Structure 1
Amino acid sequence: MRTLRTNVEREDAVALVQDRQRRLTVRGLPAPAQADTPALFRAPQTKPAGLFEDGKLLACMIPERDPDLEWGEGPCLFLGRVHTLPDQTDDILRLITLWASDFAARLDLPLVRTETLARHTLDAEPIAALLRRLTDMGWDVRGSGPGREGDRVARLELAAEHRSGLSALIGCRVHEPQTSQDERGSA
């Protein structure tokens, strides 16, 4: 896992996001309605991260520290706009889960939070199947409601936990995320 630093890496993330959104749309699954997510991965002020294996981008996201959320109390590492390479989602999500939990612990943050689109009730498919897989990986579902971009989302939390030996499985060269206040101050 590393911060996307070059234009080529950012364009790879844009292509992954566009491919994922296209596949979701073709399959009739929810895709973000309002945000221009590809543009966010290109924007120089964002610090996206990517999960790579043998030089291939498997997932991308925008990690933030203590973002302004309408839900959840206390400090956290927030994983925004998580997109994974299609057809390998469970393995990729498992790696992201392990990494995020450890990374948050190393930042002295107690929790990781994220959101996933949920246009219907949380017990309706296909979101119910995804949430079952995520809870099996250690995530807790904290209800649903409007997300940061206004879409209806499922809200997820994961306890931070130091995971000794994780570096043998997944390396970490991710910048320390900015807080929402840092980003507003520099804008």
Structure 2
Amino acid sequence: MRTFRTDAERDEAAALVQDRQHWLTLHGLPVPARADVPAQFREAQTLSAGLFEDGRLLACLIPEHDPDLGWGQGPCLFLRSVHTLPGQTDDITRLITLWASDFADRLGLPVVRAETLARHTLEAEPLAVLLRRLTDTGWDVHGSGPGRDGDRIARLELLDEPRPGLSALINCQVHTPRQTPGDQSNA
């Protein structure tokens, strides 16, 4: 897992997001209505990161330190716009989960938060299947509501956890996320 360093890597991430959104649309699943997500990954100042295996990009996300989500209490590592390569196994989600809980611990943040689109109730398929897979890997669902971009989302939390042997599986070269302006939790 590492921060994107080049325009080519950022373009590859944007293409992965477009592929994932196309896959979601083909399967009748929601995509963000108001945000140009691929464009976010092309911007160098966004400081996005990716999970690579043998030089192949398997997932991308934008790690943030304690943004104002409008939900959740206390400081957190927020994983914005998590996208995986279509057609991959759940192993990628498990690796991201392991990495995120360890990375939050190394940053001194007690929890990881993320959001996933939830246009219907949390019990409705296919969202319920996704949420079951996430809870099986350690995530907790904390209800639903409006997200940062105005879409209805499911709120997810994962406790930090030191994983000393993880570096043998996942090399972490992710930047330390910038703290959101106005946050005084670590001041």
TM-score by length of 1: 0.96
Measured in 2, the distance between the counterparts of 1:38 and 1:62 equals 12
How many aligned positions are there? 182
The question of whether the paired residues in 1 share the 8 Å contact of 2:7 and 2:44 is answered with no
Residue of structure 2 equivalent to 1:55: 55
Residue of structure 1 equivalent to 2:150: 150
Measured in 2, the distance between the counterparts of 1:170 and 1:143 equals 30
Residue of structure 1 equivalent to 2:15: 15
Q: Does 1:177 align with 2:162?
A: no
Deviations 1:139-160 (A, max 9, x none): 0000000011110000000000
Measured in 1, the distance between the counterparts of 2:52 and 2:15 equals 14
Identical positions, percent: 73
Residue of structure 1 equivalent to 2:42: 42
Q: Does 1:140 align with 2:140?
A: yes
Shift of 1:68: 0.7
Residue of structure 2 equivalent to 1:113: 113
Residue of structure 2 equivalent to 1:78: 78
TM-score by length of 2: 0.96
Measured in 2, the distance between the counterparts of 1:44 and 1:169 equals 27
Measured in 2, the distance between the counterparts of 1:12 and 1:90 equals 21
The question of whether the paired residues in 1 share the 8 Å contact of 2:48 and 2:60 is answered with yes
Deviations 1:6-27 (A, max 9, x none): 0110010010000000111111
Measured in 2, the distance between the counterparts of 1:88 and 1:106 equals 28
Matched residue type, 2:143: G
Measured in 1, the distance between the counterparts of 2:6 and 2:64 equals 19
Shift of 1:50: 0.1
Residue of structure 1 equivalent to 2:165: 165
Matched residue type, 1:79: L
**Structure 1 residue runs without a partner (length 5+):** 183-187
Deviations 1:62-99 (A, max 9, x none): 00000011100000000000000112141110000000
Residue of structure 2 equivalent to 1:185: none
Measured in 2, the distance between the counterparts of 1:165 and 1:80 equals 26
The question of whether the paired residues in 1 share the 8 Å contact of 2:112 and 2:160 is answered with yes
Shift of 1:58: 0.2
Residue of structure 2 equivalent to 1:66: 66
Aligned-pair RMSD on alpha carbons? Answer: 0.9
Measured in 1, the distance between the counterparts of 2:67 and 2:91 equals 27
Measured in 2, the distance between the counterparts of 1:68 and 1:39 equals 21
Residue of structure 1 equivalent to 2:96: 96
